[in-house]
Amino acid sequence: MSSTTLIWIIVAVAVLLAVALVTGVVLSRKRRISLAERKGDEPVKGAYQAGGGISLAGGRTDATTAVPDTTPDTTPDTTSDAVPDEVPDPTPEPVEHPVADRTEVDGQPGVGDDAAVPRDSVKRGIVEVDLPDEASEIEEIEPTAGRLERLRGRLARSRSTFGQGLLGLLGAGDLDEDSWTDIEDTLLVADLGAGITDQIVTALRAQLVSRGVRTSEQARALLKDVLTESLYPEMDRSVRALPHSGKPAVVLVVGVNGVGKTTTTGKLARVLVADGRTVLLGAADTFRAAAADQLETWGSRVGASTVRGAEGADPASVAFEAVKQGVTAGVDTVLVDTAGRLHTKTGLMDELGKVKRVVEKQAEVDEVLLVLDATTGQNGLTQARVFAEVVNVTGIVLTKLDGTAKGGIVFQVQRELGVPVKLVGLGEGADDLAPFEPAAFVDALLG
Ligand SMILES: Nc1nc2c(ncn2[C@@H]2O[C@H](COP(=O)(O)OP(=O)(O)OP(=O)(O)O)[C@@H](O)[C@H]2O)c(=O)[nH]1
């Protein structure tokens, strides 16, 4: 072999080696790019595992499936290149993690929380009231003027047993002792109580003679005057719910279970909003699970926001926070719905006193409205006495007057407590709360 041939062979081998080297490099790069693409897919999954708590809030379910172990304590391997066989069963068991078990309440996920569980899922489950439609529109509110007149038909039951009964007896002409006994009985049955009944019968006897009553029209006028007079028409019945000294008015709504506190608070918010006022609601009824939801619903219907606490939270702290936020936001009125509680539970009554004291650290309490259920008759009076001892009751709201024949409780409660009935509830409708006007009320009773 000549040396020239040898050189050509060496050159050919060198060229072949060079080509092989270049090809190897190119192939190797291609493989890396390809790997990088897969890596680009998988780490995205891995990244969602890490941020799963956030992504799942948007309703993503695939992120949960990337969690190797479905127990909430297991930390997902976020550094993994997400090898396909690490993908677990795509339908993991739902994680049990009731909100009630969580200790933190500030809205931040707690250690071990599984963000797949909506943080408020349990609370939503206990809502017992109709919630407003989405993007709720502010509702039309009936004008408050003349409401008692418009709702007078609701007093039908009291009217037939009390008003019509008295008119029938008085209009019958000369009254013998039996008739006077019947008048007394009618007043007592309607829950006016012995004291007021005596007072009314004495006034009727005297004025029947002095006025020379002859006709049924005159008898009606006499009855109207005497009954209206017994309702202390001179009492100031304005609800102290307007702001003063640059601070919102604070109204506490108190009363025993089920008398209609939350409903009244909601109705009153409507009255204020209709008057062009801004209102903030405080859901200090932390004893009854759905009370805060109920109040919030009332609020959202009129565009008032609600301050609420965790279930079982200290009612005083919720009330305090509500008033604080009301002052900061510069609203006109803060209405605080308190827990319904039995007056026999002294400890709970103490707590109501505490609510008032704590609120007073923020702003003066302008009005304490005691809500009484008219259908409970004398029992309402017993409640009123206990509440009056604990908090300085400044006004009474008598609810459910539409469902009772015992409208006479209005007379008794004012005389007993020396506190005016300021509002009356005449139905479950949103605008079935009326100002109490003695003359109009008596008119409605007499038909
Ligand atoms: N007929 C009638 N029902 C009323 C009136 N006011 C309230 N109610 C009803 O009474 C029931 C109890 O009312 P709530 O407002 O939940 O009573 P509450 O005092 O807040 O109850 P607790 O939170 O358990 O203490 C509800 O069904 C109301 O719709 C009224 O004036 N007339």
State the residue for tokens 């006077």. Answer: 180
Q: 262: annotated binding-site residue?
A: yes
**Are 149 and 440 spatial neighbours (Cβ–Cβ below 8 Å)?**
yes
Nearest CA residue ID for atom 10, ligand 1? 260
Ligand 1 centre and the CA of 294: distance in Å? 11
Angstrom distance (rounded) from CA 424 to CA 397: 5
Angstrom distance (rounded) from CA 247 to CA 323: 10
Which residues in the chain land under pLDDT 50? 27-135, 342-344
Q: 288: helix, coil or strand?
A: coil
* pLDDT reported for residue 22: 67
Nearest CA residue ID for atom 17, ligand 1? 260
Ligand 1 centre and the CA of 248: distance in Å? 26
* pLDDT reported for residue 382: 85
Four-CA torsion 37, 43, 45, 47, nearest 10 degrees: -140
Q: 260: annotated binding-site residue?
A: yes
Residues having CB closer than 6 A to ligand 1 are 255, 257-263, 285, 288, 291, 340, 399-400, 402-403, 425-428, 432
Ligand 1 centre and the CA of 399: distance in Å? 8
For the CA of 255, the nearest atom of ligand 1: 19
Q: 402: annotated binding-site residue?
A: yes
Return the structure tokens found at 355: 């609510």
Angstrom distance (rounded) from CA 49 to CA 60: 11
Domain boundaries in the chain? 3-86
pTM score, whole prediction: 0.69
For residue 116, CA distances in Å to 74, 76, 88 come to 14, 14, 16
Return the structure tokens found at 366: 């302008």
Q: 224: annotated binding-site residue?
A: no
pLDDT by residue (tens digit) across 156-193? 888 877 888 888 888 776 788 988 999 999 999 888 88
pLDDT by residue (tens digit) across 339-372? 876 444 557 688 888 899 999 998 999 999 999 9
* pLDDT reported for residue 129: 45
* pLDDT reported for residue 24: 58
Nearest CA residue ID for atom 4, ligand 1? 428
